[in-house]
Chains A and B, each alone.
Chain A
C-alpha cells in the first residue's frame, strides 16, 4: 500500500471519529490542536486503526501516536 493511500485512509478515519472535515486534518494535527480530540476519541482512534489496518500496536507504539504525522509513521512501519 502506498504511503499516500495510507495517509488518505488515516485522515478519513480521523475525520469520521472527530466529526470534522477531512481538509482540516493536517500532519501536525493532535489533541492539542483539535478541540474535540479527547482521550476517549483518541482511544477509539487507536482501536479503529488496529481494526482497519489489521495490526496490533505495542504499548510503546500506542504512546507514540500523538499526532497525525507520527500515526502515519508508526503505521507505515507495521504494514
Chain B
C-alpha cells in the first residue's frame, strides 16, 4: 500500500502518482465505452494531457481527485473525485471512473463511493455532495439511489449521447442524512 488516504476492505484511495501518469490512466479517458457518459468524451486523451491534469492537482483546493487502488496487488483501477468544491457553501460534485473494465463488474465502485462520501463528510467537513447523471446511465442512477441521494430536478435534453438528446438528473446528499445512516458505525 502506497500513500493511503482512505482505506477500505477491497480498495484504498490515494493521491494520484507519477506511476499512474505513466500507466493506463490516460487511456481510460480515450476509451469510447468508459467515457460514454462523461463530458470528457469528445476529445482523445494523451499521456501529456494527463500529466498536465496531474500537475494541476497539486495546489488545487477546489478539486480532490483520488486514485482507486486494489488492496490485494496495488493495481490502479480508476479514479474518484470531488470537484467544484465550494468552501463557502461547503459543497462539491462527485464523479467516478473505473477504467480497468474487469473491475467494473465487482463491488469496487460501491466501496469507492462509500469511501469518498466518508472523505467528503468527515475529513473535508462538506455539507452537501451533488451527483448528476444522464437518465440512461443505469449504473450511476442505481449507485446514487443506493447511497440515498435525493433527486432535485431534471435538465431536459441537456446531453447529446450517440446522437440522441438525453435528460440529466440532478441529485444531492446532505451531511445530516449521511450521518444518520452512518454515525453508529464510525
> Which residue of A43, A65, A66 contacts B142 across the interface (Cβ within 8 Å)?
A43
Question: A62 — which chain B residues lie within 8 A by C-beta?
Answer: 110, 114, 146-147
A39 in contact with B181 given A46-B146, A60-B114, A63-B9 (CB within 8 Å): no
Is there an interface contact between B8 and A63, defined as CB atoms closer than 8 Å?
yes
Restricting to A5-38, which residues have a CB under 8 Å from any CB of B?
Answer: 31-32, 37-38
Interface-central residue, A31, A32, A42, A60, by most chain B CB under 10 Å = A60
Contact with B along A35-79 (1 / 0, CB 8 A): 001111011101100000000101111111110000000000000
A41 to chain B, nearest CB (A): 9
- Determine the residue in chain B with the shortest Cβ distance to A70: B9
Is there an interface contact between A59 and B182, defined as CB atoms closer than 8 Å?
yes
User: Which residues in A have some Cβ–Cβ distance to B below 8 Å?
Assistant: 31-32, 37-40, 42-44, 46-47, 56, 58-66
> Which residue of A37, A43, A56 contacts B110 across the interface (Cβ within 8 Å)?
A43
25 contacts between A and B (CB under 8 A): A31-B106, A39-B105, A39-B106, A39-B139, A40-B138, A40-B139, A40-B142, A42-B107, A44-B142, A56-B181, A58-B181, A58-B184, A59-B113, A59-B147, A59-B178, A59-B181, A60-B114, A62-B110, A62-B147, A63-B8, A63-B9, A63-B10, A63-B114, A64-B9, A66-B107
Contact with A along B110-137 (1 / 0, CB 8 A): 1101110110000000000000000000
Interface size of B by Cβ–Cβ distance < 8 Å?
27
Q: Give Cα distance in the complex from A47 to B144, angstroms.
A: 11
Question: B107 — which chain A residues lie within 8 A by C-beta?
Answer: 31, 39, 42, 63, 65-66
Asked whether B73 is an interface residue with its Cβ less than 8 Å from the other chain, the reply is: no
Q: Give Cα distance in the complex from A43 to B149, angstroms.
A: 14
> Which residue of B104, B114, B115, B182 contacts A39 across the interface (Cβ within 8 Å)?
B104
